[in-house]
Amino acid sequence: MTSVQLAQASNAAVYATMVTLALAMVFFAASFASGRRRAPVAAPSAPAVEGVGGTAVITRPPVAVDLPREPGRRAANIAMSLTWLSFATLLVGVVLRGVWAGRAPWGNMYEFSITAALGILGVFLFMSITRDLRWLGLFIVLPTLLTLGMAVTVLYTEAAQLVPALKSYWLVIHVAAAIICAGAFTLAAATAGLSLVRGRAERVQGTLDVAGWTARLPTSERLQVLTNRVVAFSFPLWTFAVVAGAIWAENAWGRYWGWDPKETWAFITWVVFAAYLHARSTAGWRGSRASWIAIAGWLSFLVNYFGVNFFVNSLHSYAGV
């Protein structure tokens, strides 16, 4: 393929992804809507907290929920298939972009963004292999679609060679870790937000067996546990991304830490998620407060990703934004 064909193919793949994702979103939404019309099937939810020995709080592992006749299930299955398809087409788009540029496709904000979208879908689909996450799909597809939309409209740049500061194998290591974290943090924020919504429904209705669209979600307790797992997975990875960035900075700029705005916000994100993990172990903080902290962590990641590049003078502001 010629370079022009490669460029066109990459862009076409990204646009195709947006179409399939939009379809997936419609089907995920339809699945929710059909759940609302009929009475929700009660999920057998075991009491989540049990006192043992007076001091230990043990979470009883909830029974896996499998609801064969669940309304909207077919729509959700179609949506999941479309999400897999979107992941595949986006992967093609990102790879072709790399082939076109002749390097890792992480040279500017457009390329970061399509790869971050791939990261969000990737982490979600990876986690959906071992557990039923169809209820989460809508809340994953939406931010992915927004990211891609922003990439193709505001951030689009033609592929160019890397500026010298980016010519390093640390680009691959540091950015890959950060991109997986982008996906995981988004997932954690989605489950944390849903746990707040679901928790509110549980409080208002006074039962774990809620009516309304939140009936389709797992219990707020389970959502919190899931959020915790995702953060526990991504926090060491984020630490690694920051340390890898520091090693690279030492090699490129002569200092491993210089409080450049990007570094500062990476640090803030790290501290907020550290606070989240501590909150999960602090009485009175484990529930909705911890969920808010997880959302705050994701927001500070977004500030780092978009805010620093657009509004602040930073060493991390590169050509093509």
Partner 1 sequence: MTATSEEALAGLPEDRPLPPLGSVGLLRWMWRQLTSMRTALILLFLLAVASVPGSVLPQRGNNPLRVDQWLEENPATGPLLDRLGFFDVYASAWFAAVYLLLFISLIGCVLPRIRVHAKAMRAAPPQAPRRMSRMPTATEFTTDVEPAAVLASAEEYLRSRRWRVRVGETATEDSTWVAAEKGYARETGNLVFHLSLLFVLLAVAVGGLLGWKGNVIVREGSGFSNTLTQYDAWGGGRFVDPAALAPFSFRLDRFAVDFERGDAQRGAPLLFEADVAYREEPTAEPVETTIAVNHPLDVDGAKVFLVGHGYAPRLVVRDSTGAVVFDDTVVFLPQDGNFTSTGVVKVPDSTPSLGLNGLFLPTAALTEELGPHSTFPAPDYPAVFLSAFSGDLGMDEGAPQSVYTLDTSRMTQLGLESLIPGDTWTLPDGAGTVEFTGFERWASFQIAHDPGKELALLASVAAILGLMLSLFVRRRRLWVKVAAADGGGTLVQVAALGRTESADLTDDVAVLADHLGGPAGDRRSAT
DSSP string, 305-316: IIIHHHHS--TT
Q: Binding string to partner 1 for residues 260 to 279, with x set by CB under 8 A, is what?
A: xx--xx-xx--xx-xx-xxx
Q: In sequence order, which residues have a C-beta less than 8 Å from that of residue 81 and are 6 or more positions away?
A: none
Cβ(148)–Cβ(18) below 8 Å: yes
3-state secondary structure 230-280: HHHHHHHHHHHHHHHHHHHHHHHHCCCCCCCHHHHHHHHHHHHHHHHHHHC
Restricting to residues 299-318, name those near partner 1 by CB under 8 A: 300, 308, 312-313
Restricting to residues 119-148, name those near partner 1 by CB under 8 A: 130-131
- 63 makes contact with partner 1 (CB under 8 A): yes
Long-range contacts of 39-42 (CB under 8 A, 24+ apart): 39/211, 40/211, 40/212, 40/215, 40/216, 41/67, 41/69, 41/70, 41/71, 42/209, 42/215
Restricting to residues 9-38, name those near partner 1 by CB under 8 A: none
Burial pattern 101-111, b for ≥16 Cβ within 10 A else e, equals: bebbbbbbbbb
- 240 makes contact with partner 1 (CB under 8 A): yes
Cβ(235)–Cβ(298) below 8 Å: no
Among 19, 58, 172, 211, binds partner 1 (CB under 8 A): 58
- 254 makes contact with partner 1 (CB under 8 A): yes
Closest CB 131 distance from partner 1, rounded Å: 6
Closest CB 182 distance from partner 1, rounded Å: 19
Question: What's the CA gap between 81 and 75, in Å, rounded?
Answer: 10
Q: Binding string to partner 1 for residues 210 to 229, with x set by CB under 8 A, is what?
A: --------x---x--xx-xx
- 2 makes contact with partner 1 (CB under 8 A): no
Restricting to residues 145-204, name those near partner 1 by CB under 8 A: 157-161, 163-165, 167-168, 170
Among 4, 37, 206, 259, binds partner 1 (CB under 8 A): 259
Binding segment (CB under 8 A) for partner 1, from list 12-20, 52-60, 69-77, 135-143? 52-60
- 64 makes contact with partner 1 (CB under 8 A): yes
Pick 53 or 206: Cβ nearer partner 1: 53
Instruction: Give the CA distances from residue 234 to residues 91, 223, 239, 270, in Å, rounded to whole numbers and listed in that order.
Output: 21, 16, 8, 10
- 319 makes contact with partner 1 (CB under 8 A): yes
Restricting to residues 67-96, name those near partner 1 by CB under 8 A: none
Pick 164 or 206: Cβ nearer partner 1: 164
